[in-house]
Amino acid sequence: MSKTISFIGLGNMGLPMATNLIQAGYALRVYNRTMEKGRSLADQGAVLVNTPAEAVTEGAIVITMLANDQALEEVVLGENGILARLSPGSIHLSMSTVSPATARRLAEQHEQQGAHYLAAPVFGRPDAAAAKKLWICLSGNPAAKAEVAPVLDALGQGVFDFGETPEAANVVKVAGNFLIVSAIEAMAEAFTLAEKNGIDRTQVAELFGKTLFACPIYQNYGRMIAQQQYEPAGFKLSLGLKDVTLALQTARASQMPMPLASLLHDRLMAAVAKGKGDLDWTGLASEMSEQAGG
């Protein structure tokens, strides 16, 4: 815990993650576009700065938790970005969900600077982040991964290492989010089918969550879909559209079809076009209810 951590991005996920690092004893320098979001961290001893570059100190570990590729590239490469401030041996732990292509490109630019880029996207909602229950996918330089291991231990319940290829963890992340939104659509159709035939949708969700699909996605998201509770958003529907788009882009670059992802993209796009982008991404299920006359 001798190194200072530079933490950039204090959204629904970033703020509880940064809070856990402070509670674990790390010194933090934090940046967020909306400075007010960092006040609670400042009260706990974090230093708030005005630009991403100001967050970086000699030999610091930099963590970014940002909404999309554009935000990450701006923080890294833009005016007052972090890349120019990284010293040889510095580590950038990129925990955002971004495209594998972006991760690969940024890793190359970090290497030219003598720094290390590690991809470390996470599975888990804000409540899991607060409880240090995130599942972390990791890829990149082995020595850098060993150095950040205690930091990751303070953030999650487990790390899955996908090797040295920088973008590998991001491929896994977009694949995982594709699986989640596929489950959301499947549950929406199944529960609505039951409801249209006079069966309590919450009872159906309880059955499947305890038996055939006894796992967190079907249990937790299943409950939200069954009860049609899509606010407040733990993960916005608009971000789900972004992630399915990333999956399709990655598939195209890999020369493989993803017909189900194409369908889900159109479903999500329609929901966003109707003004549902700020709902939780389980709000995709509302499309099925409406189409079924519910």
Catalytic residues: 173
| Backbone torsion region of residue 132, taken as left when φ is above 0, otherwise alpha when ψ lies between -120 and 50, otherwise beta | left
Q: How far apart are CA 95 and CA 215, in angstroms?
A: 24
* Beta pairing, strands 134-138 & 122-123: antiparallel
From the centroid of its chain, how far is CA 135? Answer: 11
Write the CA distances from 231 to 15, 28, 37, 280, integer angstroms: 20, 32, 21, 6
Q: How far apart are CA 71 and CA 18, in angstroms?
A: 18
Contact indicator for 247, 178 with CB cutoff of 8 Å? yes
